[in-house]
Amino acid sequence: MLNAELLACCQKIGRRGFNKAQGLRGALMRDIRVLVVDDSAIVRKILSQELSGESGIQVVGTAVDPYVARDKIVKLRPDVMTLDIEMPRMDGITFLKKLMRYYPLPVIVVSSLTLKGGVLALEAMESGAVEVVSKPGGAYSVGDMRQQLGDKIRAAARARVARQMDDSAQDLRVSSHAMKETTGKVITVGASTGGTEALKKVLSQLPQSAPGVVAVQHLPPNLTTTFAQRLNSVCAIEVKEAEDGDSVLPGRALIAPGNYHTLLRRSGARYYVCVKDGPRVRHQRPSVDVLFQSTAECAGANAVGVILTGMGSDGARGLLKMRRAEARTIGQDEGSCVVYGMPKEAAKIGAVEKVASLDRVAQEIMNVL
């Protein structure tokens, strides 16, 4: 959600700044000033190079996320902005809605998520974008769209963009589909008593093509490294003890280190883990609840949450938060649990969507994906 600082900055620009920018936009004797906003350094570089070669267009700056873009808009007063959707700290459509309310500007959404006819393309247009352009298959082919994007920028510079007012306060929440329609999925797993063998069973059945996995197993700090190495030797996917900043990649499982909480984080389309100290949660560190809650916040419907055998209730509330965020959730059944504690507590509060025996958990994960 847009914070107070960003709102204040947008309001500070005010109507006077908007009228000035509109006046500049009407000038026919100078280049169209373009700001490129994309979290990929490769895309920013290629777009800048290609657009700078177009007659009448000048790329005056680039930004890696909406917060940097905010500052560049204030400083550079661009005539047109190109905007990605998947970005760190705030998705592009949420930023677009804020921008159209406080500082209207012609925006062309350029994203791999806005395929023709897709829900995000429609939402981008409804949120104020004057054009929507799909990225080609890879960042290195962005140059292929040079002429098309150049023509759209020239047209956008002449567009009349109206301030969008929304009294419903709906725009004060991250309500777009952008955070759901990411290019990748993620699996998070929690286990305790009996979980070492349960995790081995589940991870060893996952194919190399499986989405990235982050798992919490309650173990003393001196055992998680060895545990991860043991799993790596018997699984088709790579398994390692998580380190702060590790990327969550397809075909890789990260095991939370003992005595440290492990949280899922997201920067644009990239998932990674944050390994940190902190108070015990449900008497545990690492805590399954901490992992699951962070997954709900940054992955939502892109995630699958799995709760396995274990004593206590760690993970139940976090799994419920995941389910409410539209993640798919799976709980191990009583018959195959060493201790039917954590899955039972999760099931009691409605956090478990599917119940499966240990032999079927891996298959259920792939089925719901």
Catalytic pick from 65, 127, 171, 218?
218
- To which residue do tokens 């990235």 refer? 212
> Backbone dihedral region of 77: left (phi > 0), alpha (psi from -120 to 50 degrees) or beta?
left
Distance in angstroms (rounded) separating the CA atoms of residues 114 and 225: 42
* Strand 212-217 with 186-191, pairing: parallel
Is 72 within 8 Å of 168 (Cβ atoms)? no
Residue 204 falls in the annotated catalytic set: no
Work out the number of other CB atoms within 10 angstroms of the CB of residue 245: 10
Report the run of H or E that residue 228 belongs to, with start and end: helix 224-234
Distance in angstroms (rounded) separating the CA atoms of residues 256 and 259: 9
Is 134 within 8 Å of 114 (Cβ atoms)? yes
Catalytic pick from 192, 287, 294, 336?
192
Residue 151 falls in the annotated catalytic set: no
Q: Tell whether the torsion through CA atoms of 155, 160, 161 and 164 is positive or negative.
A: negative
Residue 218 falls in the annotated catalytic set: yes
Distance in angstroms (rounded) separating the CA atoms of residues 133 and 142: 11
Q: Which amino acid is at 191?
A: A
Is 122 within 8 Å of 112 (Cβ atoms)? no
Q: Tell whether the torsion through CA atoms of 47, 52, 58 and 62 is positive or negative.
A: positive
Q: In what order do the strands lie in the sheet with 252-255?
A: 238-241, 252-255, 212-217, 186-191, 303-307, 328-332, 354-356
Mention every residue, 6+ apart, whose C-beta is less than 8 A from residue 26.
Answer: none
Report CA 133 to chain centroid distance, whole Å: 20
Catalytic pick from 246, 289, 314, 333?
314
- To which residue do tokens 């001196």 refer? 222
Within 1-159, residue ranges assigned H as helices are 4-25, 41-52, 66-76, 92-102, 119-126, 146-157
Residues identified as active-site: 192, 218, 314
